[in-house]
Amino acid sequence: MIKLDIMSDPICPWCYIGKTHLEKALAEHPDHPFTVEWHPFQLNPDMPAEGMDRRVYLERKFGGKEAAIKVYSQIEQTAEALGLPIDFAAMKRTPNTIDAHRLIHWAGLEQKQNAVVDALFQAYFCMGIDIGNREALCDIAEVIGLERDVIARLLSSDADRAMIQERDAHSRKMGITAVPTFIIANQHAVPGAQPPEVWTSIISELQGQLAET
Alpha-carbon distance values, 170 to 39, 72, 87, 124 (Å): 11, 29, 33, 26
Query: What is the distance of C-alpha 22 from the center of its chain?
Result: 12
Q: Give me the pLDDT at residue 213, please.
A: 73
What DSSP designation does 188 have? E
Q: Give me the pLDDT at residue 212, please.
A: 83
Q: Give me the pLDDT at residue 126, please.
A: 96
Domain-by-domain residue ranges, the chain? Answer: 2-191
Q: Give me the pLDDT at residue 177, please.
A: 94
pTM for this entry: 0.96
Q: Give me the pLDDT at residue 93, please.
A: 96
- Give the torsion through C-alpha atoms of 191, 196, 201, 203, to 10 deg: 90
Question: No. of H helices and E strands in the chain?
Answer: 10, 6
Contacts of 31 (CB under 8 A, 6+ apart): 207
- From 29, 39, 21, select the one nearest 198 (Cα to Cα): 21
Per-residue pLDDT of the chain in tens (213 residues, 90 and over written 9): 999 999 999 999 999 999 999 999 999 999 999 999 999 999 999 999 999 999 999 999 999 989 988 999 999 999 999 999 899 999 999 999 999 999 999 999 999 999 999 999 999 999 999 999 999 999 999 999 999 999 999 999 999 999 999 999 999 999 999 999 999 999 999 999 999 999 999 999 999 988 887
Q: Give me the pLDDT at residue 147, please.
A: 98
- Write phi, then psi, for 142 (nearest 5 degrees): -65, -40
CB atoms within 10 A of CB 126: 15
Domain 2-191 sits in CATH 3.40.30.10:
yes
Q: Give me the pLDDT at residue 145, please.
A: 98
- From 121, 17, 7, 11, select the one nearest 74 (Cα to Cα): 17
- Write phi, then psi, for 192 (nearest 5 degrees): 85, 170
3-state secondary structure of 175: coil
3-state secondary structure of 51: coil
Q: Give me the pLDDT at residue 181, please.
A: 98
